[in-house]
């Protein structure tokens, strides 16, 4: 690991911090000061933030009791502008109220410390954020600032969103844990979306057990990390028909599989990978069609958008409704098949990204390995796994049953522990 990586990569354990807050060995004021000091020390290199909240510290209650929270800058935080990574929003007024998801996190005890960098309207055009775990490489997107803020230890918890691969891929690239909730699990009012049938909430933390604690605090469901441990039953999804998995990721997935089997996991091969490849093809049709209508105001100002976003909106505007409905039917048929398969398994295991984070900041990488699962609307989890010989992180992906995030997190905790042994 390079000296720069050692300086920048320092994930902050949410579970340890929550225990300190609960025991009174730390306070909300102290943790906010620690967060702000870390941001001041590292963000000139990381560039994870677009707006910090300098208002007086609120009194925190709830199970998280004062945990600092990063919020992706497509999600409204009362009193802060929501600029969506776009020049069209440079003069945006402060949001009058929190998005529902922010209200829910405040009630759980989290304190928003600011807005994190997003790609332009949560699509492909990147912002300035770098990868703390791989300096000079992309952190992924579109939730780039949130992933980097957690990887660098600026906050122990950060919010993202996913429409294609905007949470899972950055988590893999940055070497942290990321979770995408089932579609519709929480309301999306106060969120500047891209595709209503695809947009989902997500979050980042240092590890899966931290995500389990956070999700329990948010929902009141049991802490998945405390569930009785048992070897997982998994379906292995190689993603071979998509033709994008690089040798380093293939080797990492094989190594992870070997360690999980040695720990007692039962693993069967996914029976029809072409089915998932077909959903991966349907996803961008749905996304473009809906984005062209969801972002119609911006479509009329295409000359002020990136070429990538302008092209997406043009493509979606010219997509016939028949093609859109055909893609939706394809997704619906696959959802029934996958739901049936999952009755006998805890999760589907596969690569979280094609490979390690690409060099440079001009691209955020390929989201194709998340597209099919996002189209199906099921919860997804990126588990930090191994790294390349050069120290670049590689994550694996777990896909669960619809609305069963806690069960997926329990499986993820078992996988994380098995990989640590």
**Annotated catalytic, 182?**
no
Closest Cα to residue 190, out of 123, 253, 97, 274?
97
Are 353 and 365 in contact by the 8 Å Cβ rule? The answer is: yes
- Cβ neighbours around 94 below 10 Å, total: 12
Cα angle for residues 73, 384, 103 (degrees, 5° grid): 30
* Active-site annotation holds for 166: yes
Q: Are 117 and 152 in contact (CB under 8 A)?
A: no
Q: Catalogue the long-range contacts made by 81-84 (C-beta closer than 8 Å, 24 or more residues apart).
A: 81/51, 81/115, 82/115, 82/192, 83/50, 83/51, 83/115, 84/118, 84/120, 84/121, 84/122, 84/192
Residue 7 has phi, psi (to 5 degrees) of -70, -40
d(CA 144, CA 266): 34
Identify whether 72 is a catalytic site residue: yes
Catalytic residue among 166, 216, 306, 382: 166
Question: How far is 202 from 198, CA to CA, in rounded Å?
Answer: 12
Instruction: Please pick, among 72, 146, 182, 370, the residue that the annotation labels catalytic.
Output: 72
Angle of the 28-46 helix axis to the 144-151 helix axis, nearest 10: 110
Catalytic residue among 26, 35, 133, 142: 142
CA neighbor of 384 nearest in space, from 245, 206, 222, 265 = 206
- Number of Cβ within a 10 Å radius of residue 89: 18
Active site residues: 72, 142, 166
């Amino acid at each position: 690991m390079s000296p720069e990586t050692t300086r920048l990569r320092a994930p902050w354990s949410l579970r340890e911090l929550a225990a300190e807050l609960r025991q009174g060995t730390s306070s909300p004021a102290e943790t906010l000061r620690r967060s702000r000091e870390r941001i001041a020390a590292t963000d000139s290199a990381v560039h994870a933030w677009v707006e910090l909240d300098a208002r007086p510290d609120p009194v925190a209650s709830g199970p998280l009791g004062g945990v600092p929270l990063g919020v992706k800058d497509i999600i409204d935080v009362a009193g802060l502008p929501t600029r969506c990574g776009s020049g069209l929003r440079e003069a945006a007024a402060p949001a009058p109220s929190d998005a529902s998801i922010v209200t829910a996190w405040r009630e759980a005890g989290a304190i928003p410390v600011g807005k994190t960098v997003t790609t332009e309207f949560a699509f492909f055009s990147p912002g300035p954020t770098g990868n703390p775990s791989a300096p000079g490489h992309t952190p992924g997107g579109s939730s780039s600032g949130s992933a980097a803020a957690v990887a660098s230890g600026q906050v122990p918890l950060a919010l993202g969103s996913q429409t294609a691969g905007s949470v899972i891929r950055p988590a893999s690239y940055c070497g942290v844990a990321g979770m995408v909730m089932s579609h519709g699990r929480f309301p999306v009012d106060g969120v500047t979306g891209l595709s209503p049938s695809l947009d989902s909430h997500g979050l980042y933390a240092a590890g899966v057990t931290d995500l389990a604690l956070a999700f329990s605090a948010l929902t009141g469901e049991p802490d998945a990390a405390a569930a009785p441990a048992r070897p997982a039953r998994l379906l292995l999804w190689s993603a071979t028909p998509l033709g994008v998995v690089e040798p380093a990721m293939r080797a990492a997935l094989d190594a992870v599989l070997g360690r999980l089997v040695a720990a007692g996991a039962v693993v069967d091969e996914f029976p029809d990978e072409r089915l998932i490849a077909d959903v991966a093809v349907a996803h961008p049709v749905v996304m473009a069609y809906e984005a062209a209508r969801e972002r119609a105001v911006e479509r009329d100002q295409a000359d002020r958008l990136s070429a990538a976003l302008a092209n997406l909106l043009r493509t979606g505007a010219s997509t016939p409704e028949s093609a859109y409905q055909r893609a939706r039917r394809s997704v619906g048929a696959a959802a029934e098949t996958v739901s049936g398969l999952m009755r006998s398994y805890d999760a589907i295991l596969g690569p979280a990204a094609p490979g390690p984070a690409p060099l440079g900041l001009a691209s955020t990488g390929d989201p194709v390995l998340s597209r099919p699962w996002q189209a199906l609307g099921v919860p997804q989890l990126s588990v930090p796994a191994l790294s390349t010989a050069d120290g670049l992180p590689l994550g694996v992906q777990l896909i669960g049953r619809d609305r069963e995030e806690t069960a997926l997190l329990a499986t993820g905790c078992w996988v994380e522990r098995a990989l640590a042994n």
